[in-house]
């Protein structure tokens, strides 16, 4: 059998750090251990019934069995406009300021290819969502990281970015509520971001994947709520987390018309749009009552309280996340993040994600998902307490 060599481009892609974690967890499960998997980011609740029913109805419509319009149905773009007007008070043009995406990840990986040439500079948060790196590699761009530290509430300090890098940078990724830290952005921070972009050549891309998940009565801010934000960037929204539609692969980008046009142009060459039934269901999710979103947010907040209060009660000095469905926990002294994750898996059969997998500044932390029941989170606390390390 001939073996055909992969392209230089494929070989340049970053290694999937968490593939090894999945293998480790699978090995323990195969050996019969009861593993509490807190390392994943996959919503554990089902998609709300009214959205599923809309898909079932739409799937029976022969019109949806044909190719959809390349850039998506107008009714879905209008639903995104309705959603942003209702939830954030942001006005959008459905023709020029909305692009339909095959999930948020697709847009995040595509955008560097839309706006950057080989060797161009992009600013990326560290720690951050690893798939940002994939888009950078595919664009053959130069990545400059922005440290996110606890001392600054996991917000980048723009004054600390090298002036030469800032002058060259054409694109910047931000993500609040943040994966992996659970931090949220302030209006002042977003105002600084717009100010910075206006002084430079930066296009800002705000990954708003966890936009629906905020705690303690605080609704996460949309970047586009900031005056001038739409002029200098876009926001990428996914239905994966808000409506438990991770497997449906549907999202959208909103904002600057020239960036939206670039995304749609690239997607014209890659896809023939999303199945019409999924688009109808997505529009239903965005247009219908958001009571299911409120209930989901309350569930995550309740789980957060169970986990954080439990860990604090056994002596682990951890900080409570302000948003997202992740907690970012400092590892005990004497361990690296990977060593501590391995220790928890081996000794307590609890899987967590080592912080180093999210970037250099993720070292010293592990990421824990709030994607298991109260009972399983309580059991995880008991198992950690039994290790007697705090």
Residue in the block written with tokens 């554990």: 44
pLDDT at residue 45 tops 90: yes
pLDDT digits (tens, 9 = 90+) for 325-346: 999 999 999 999 999 999 999 9
- CA dist 90 and 81 (Å) reads 8
**Cβ-proximal residues to 29 (8 Å cutoff; 6+ apart), any chain:** 35
pLDDT one-digit tens code per residue, 211-258: 999 999 999 999 999 999 999 999 999 999 999 999 999 999 999 999
pLDDT in tens, 190-199: 999 999 999 9
Other Cβ atoms less than 10 A from the Cβ of 283: the count is: 23
- Does residue 382 carry a pLDDT above 90? yes
Q: Options 3.90.1150.10, 3.30.1180.20, 1.10.3720.10, 3.30.70.20; which CATH number does 8-46+292-386 get? A: 3.90.1150.10
* Per-residue CA distances from 111 to 137, 138, 265 (Å): 12, 10, 11
Altogether, the residues listed in the chain come to a count of 390
Per residue in 100-142, pLDDT (tens digit) is 999 999 999 999 999 999 999 999 999 999 999 999 999 999 9
DSSP character string of 96-157:
TSEEEESSHHHHHHHHHHHH--TT-EEEEEES--THHHHHHHHTTPEEEEEE--GGGTT---
Average pLDDT for 149-177 = 97
134, 106 Cβ separation under 8 angstroms: no
Q: What is the pLDDT of residues 51-103, one digit of tens each?
A: 999 999 999 999 999 999 999 999 999 999 999 999 999 999 999 999 999 99
Q: What is the band of 16 on the pLDDT scale with cuts at 50, 70, 90? A: confident
DSSP 217-253: T-PPPPGGGSTTHHHHEEEEEEHHHHTT-GGG--EEE
What does each C-alpha distance from 315 to 320, 329, 330, 348 come to in angstroms?
Answer: 14, 13, 12, 17
Coil, helix or strand at residue 206: strand
pLDDT given for residue 17 in this prediction: 78
Give me the mean pLDDT over the 364-369 stretch. 97
What's the pLDDT at 20? 79
Q: How high is the pLDDT of residue 350?
A: 96
Among residues 278, 292, 287, which one has the least CA distance to residue 57?
278
Q: Give the SS3 label for residue 366.
A: strand
| Predicted pLDDT of residue 21 | 82
CB 276 within 8 A of CB 63: yes
98 vs 17, higher pLDDT: 98
What residues have CB less than 8 Å from 244, skipping those under 6 apart? Answer: 43, 45, 46, 47, 48, 296
> Could you read off the pLDDT of 171-190 as tens digits, one per residue?
999 999 999 999 999 999 99
Q: Output the pLDDT for position 22.
A: 85
Tell me which of 273 and 101 has the higher pLDDT.
Answer: 101
Contact criterion met (CB below 8 Å) for 163 and 199: no
The answer to whether the Cα torsion of 130, 140, 190, 71 is positive or negative is negative
> Can you name the CATH fold of 49-287?
3.40.640
Q: What is the pLDDT of residue 19?
A: 80
What is the model's pLDDT at position 332? 95
- On average, the pLDDT of the chain sits at 96
Residues 195-205 as b/e (b if ≥16 CB within 10 A, e otherwise) read: ebbeebebbbb
Every domain of the chain and the residues it spans: 8-46+292-386, 49-287
């Amino acid at each position: 059998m001939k073996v055909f060599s992969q392209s230089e481009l494929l070989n340049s892609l970053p290694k999937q750090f968490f593939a090894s974690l999945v293998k480790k967890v699978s090995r323990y499960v195969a050996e019969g251990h009861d593993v509490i998997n807190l390392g994943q980011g996959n919503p554990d609740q089902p998609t709300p019934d009214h959205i599923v029913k809309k898909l079932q109805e739409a799937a029976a419509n022969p019109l949806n069995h044909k190719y959809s319009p390349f850039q998506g149905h107008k009714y879905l773009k209008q639903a995104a406009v309705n959603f942003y007007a209702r939830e954030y008070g942001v006005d959008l043009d459905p023709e020029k300021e909305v692009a339909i995406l095959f999930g948020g990840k697709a847009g995040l990986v595509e955008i560097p290819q839309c706006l950057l040439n080989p060797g161009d500079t992009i600013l990326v948060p560290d720690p951050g969502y690893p798939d940002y790196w994939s888009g950078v590699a595919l664009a053959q761009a130069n990545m400059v990281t922005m440290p996110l530290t606890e001392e600054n509430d996991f917000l980048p300090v723009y004054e600390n970015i090298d002036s030469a890098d800032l002058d060259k940078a054409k694109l910047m990724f931000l993500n609040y509520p943040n994966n992996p830290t659970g931090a949220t952005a302030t209006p002042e921070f977003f105002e600084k971001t717009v100010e910075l972009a206006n002084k430079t050549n930066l296009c800002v891309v705000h990954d708003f994947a966890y936009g629906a998940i905020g705690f303690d009565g605080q609704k996460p801010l949309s970047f586009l709520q900031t005056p001038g934000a739409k002029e200098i960037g876009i926001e990428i929204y996914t239905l994966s987390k808000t409506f438990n539609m991770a497997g449906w692969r549907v999202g959208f980008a909103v904002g600057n018309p020239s960036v939206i046009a670039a995304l749609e142009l690239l997607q014209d060459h890659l896809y023939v749009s999303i199945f019409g039934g999924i688009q109808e269901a997505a529009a239903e999710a965005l247009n219908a009552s958001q009571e299911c979103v409120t209930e989901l947010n309350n569930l995550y907040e309740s789980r957060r309280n169970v986990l954080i209060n439990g860990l604090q009660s056994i002596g682990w000095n951890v900080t409570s996340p302000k948003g997202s469905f992740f907690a970012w926990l400092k590892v005990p002294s004497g361990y690296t993040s990977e060593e501590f994750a391995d220790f928890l898996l081996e000794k307590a059969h609890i899987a967590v994600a080592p912080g180093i997998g999210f970037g250099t500044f993720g070292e010293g932390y592990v990421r824990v998902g709030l994607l298991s029941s109260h009972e399983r989170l309580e059991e995880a606390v008991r198992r950690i307490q039994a290790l007697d390390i705090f």
